[in-house]
Amino acid sequence: MLERIKAWDNRILTKLSSKHTKKLDKLMIIITTSGNNGYIWFALSIPLLLIYRYRPVGYTIILSMLIGGLAGEVTIKHIVGRIRPCSKEFQKDVLIKHPAHYSFPSGHTTASFAVSTVVFLMMPSIFLPVLFYACLIGFSRMYVLVHYPTDVIAGVFLGIICGTVAVMVSPYIPFFPA
């Protein structure tokens, strides 16, 4: 079963790497870089934190990324220890600097879908553009060959869980505004 999943992952990345163009490469590098350290999502949370009415949403977005980082980056990645595709089969095709950590699950995707989930549950009026950008970030991680498709899929599910947990626990955290 694992061999079939690995073969599927590699087939998809091989197809993606054959579709690279200079313009698309530049665009995907910009998109994937915007997800580094959750920068795009912190940028979203700042105006929300400044407007009293939306402050709980801003805090919950940050909390969701913190939960996602602890679950994915600190815990799961080190338990699974999956080597990135850019460190193996796709070394010559990688478009960005090789990330230092393991591959599974995608941290960029986890953060993106944690934020999307918070927005869906707390501020649905901006959900569709946030979800669209989260999908672009997940896709870009495969396009630049630093994640397998299963890393991104796992990041989607982990992000949804982390976003949901953040929404559930945020009202009980004393420093969160009511």
| Inside any domain, residue 14 | no
Domain range spanning residue 56? 26-172
- Give this prediction's pTM: 0.89
Domain-embedded: residue 133: yes
The Cα 141–Cα 138 span in angstroms is 5
Instruction: Please check whether residue 156 lies inside any domain of the structure.
Output: yes
Please report the pLDDT score of residue 19 as a whole number: 84
Q: How far apart are CA 155 and CA 68, in angstroms?
A: 9
At 51, list the tokens: 């407007």
Consecutive H or E run containing 79: helix 77-80
Residue 11 located in a structural domain: no
Inter-axis angle of helices 127-143 and 39-50, nearest 10: 160
Identify residue 28 by its one-letter amino acid code: M
**pLDDT, position 109:** 97
Q: Which DSSP string corresponds to 97-125?
A: PPPSS--SS-HHHHHHHHHHHHHHHH-GG
In a domain, 19, yes or no: no
pLDDT digits (tens, 9 = 90+) for 161-177: 999 999 999 988 876 65
Give the phi and the psi of residue 156 in degrees, each rounded to 5: -60, -50
Cis peptide before 124 (omega within 30 of 0): no
| CA distances for 93 relative to 66, 97, 131, 138, 143, angstroms | 32, 11, 28, 18, 10
pLDDT tens for each residue of 12-23: 888 888 888 899
How many structural domains is the chain composed of?
A: 1
Residue 12 lies in a domain: no
Query: Cβ–Cβ contacts within 10 Å for residue 47, how many?
Result: 10
Is there a domain that residue 16 lies in?
Answer: no
Residue at 164 is within a domain: yes
pLDDT at 6: 86
